Amino acid sequence: MRFADIDGAPKRCTLIKLYTNQGLVGYGEVRDASSRTYAAMLKSRILGENPCNVEKIFNRIKQFGGDSRQAGGVCGIEVALWDLAGKAWGVPVWQLLGGKYRDKIRIYCDTDSEGGGRDMGKALKERVAQGYTFLKMDLGIELLMDVPGALSAPLGFLEKMREYKKTVFTTPHGSIDPRAMRGEAYDLFNTAHPFTGIHITEKGLDYLEQYMADCRAEVGYEIPLAIDHLGHIPLEDCIKLGRRLEKYNLSWMEDPVPWQYTDQYVRLANATTTPIGTGEDIYLKEGFMPLLKSGALAVVHPDILTAGGILETKKIGDLAEEYHTAMAIHMAESPIACMGAVHVAAATRNFTALEVHSVDVPWWDSLVNGLPKPLVKNGYIDVPTSPGLGIESLNENLIKEKLHEDFPEAWGDTSQWDKEWSNDRRWS
């Protein structure tokens, strides 16, 4: 097992190589800004195992994962194992998952824009001109920070949020620098929605509704459009906003409240016809079960590097279908994770669209060799037919150029993890 930590793809991410005694190399990845240690500590659990026994190995190591970014090591290893299994059998991963439903995977890309709703609408319209058939944008309290009277919060709270954003969000593409996440900054950005005391005023709701109206005026109503990053606001404000946005024909409103609050998702779904989606921080299919059973979700939105890897995400999609729920896939990582998601999307019937966060990063798809360039063409990625993930090798020169300053070495020795031990018993 070897690692390389890189910046800006679009966020800091840790690439994994798994080597075999037959000369095959499998590629995986730890989700953005998570420690390589989450994967390295598992090395002793997989040494000597047949990598084609993916589910057996996954069931051994999945106890070391957790919600959000804490599952990164487990998921990254699982992806690399599927890459190895496909290469060993000479077939693409989607074939091992039961075959494919589609030859092309629909892509949507989060779109950023400075200015007002018309500016965002024009940016979205440019995505359409590039061939994208599905869109997503941010719509939340970030837009209201500098609008007087748009937000209410305990005095001084919003000022502190603005101050800390300048220091915490300091890495490329706006990702969080964990070194700056200490003390009060950590508390501010890790306070759950009902407990912040932040509320959107009627003026703020008017602003967001007009922003959305201006976006739709530019891009039209025919194309699907989802929204994200509402902010840490309570359920009641989400209900107000959801009702305001019903007329704009949204595909979903993403992560309005913490995913663990199933009862609040039910209340929200019962209060508005704006569709609701969540899932990028949920680990394992068991984590999705309460929300799916509740009927509150229109869309599940797992990330393969959080959910448990390739097979677990496929199982989540199949489970969602049983509850008549569509699946989109979150992806804000390198082409390794992207291709893992492509294989899941190809093999899952109720799949709708895959997120790609790096369409504006010109070197992103050059991190790997063996795939078409550009990887995303006219809003789609072709499903590969070559073995494994479809990646032949990595672009070592580019990876070395993009190495993170905290880990300036690529593919260093990891033998210190060969005999790492803990009591792995999960029951007595």
pLDDT recorded at residue 97: 98
Using alpha carbons only, give the angle 267, 151, 197 rounded to the nearest 5 degrees: 60
Strands 253-254 and 299-300: unpaired
The DSSP-derived string for 403-427 is B-TT---SS---GGGTT--------
pLDDT recorded at residue 237: 98
Q: 234 with 268: CB under 8 angstroms?
A: no
Cα separation values, 143 from 138, 140, 399, Å: 9, 6, 35
Tell me the domains of the chain and their CATH numbers: 2-90+394-417 (3.30.390.10), 104-149+200-388 (3.20.20.120)
pLDDT recorded at residue 406: 81
Cα(358)–Cα(372) distance, rounded to whole angstroms? 16
Give the global pTM: 0.94
Query: Which residues of the chain fall short of a pLDDT of 70?
Result: 8-10, 33, 165-186, 188-189
Residues 358-416: tens digit of each pLDDT: 988 999 999 999 999 999 999 999 999 999 999 999 999 999 999 988 888 899 999 99
Cα(342)–Cα(384) distance, rounded to whole angstroms? 9
Tokens of 372: 């078409």
The H or E element that residue 240 is part of is: helix 235-244
pLDDT recorded at residue 338: 97
Cα(367)–Cα(398) distance, rounded to whole angstroms? 6
pLDDT recorded at residue 171: 46
pLDDT recorded at residue 173: 43
Q: Please choose, from the candidates 160, 74, 169, the residue with its C-alpha nearest in 3D space to the C-alpha of residue 112.
A: 169
Q: Please choose, from the candidates 254, 262, 261, 248, the residue with its C-alpha nearest in 3D space to the C-alpha of residue 300.
A: 254
Instruction: Using the structure block, give the residue that is written with the tokens 């919600």.
Output: 67
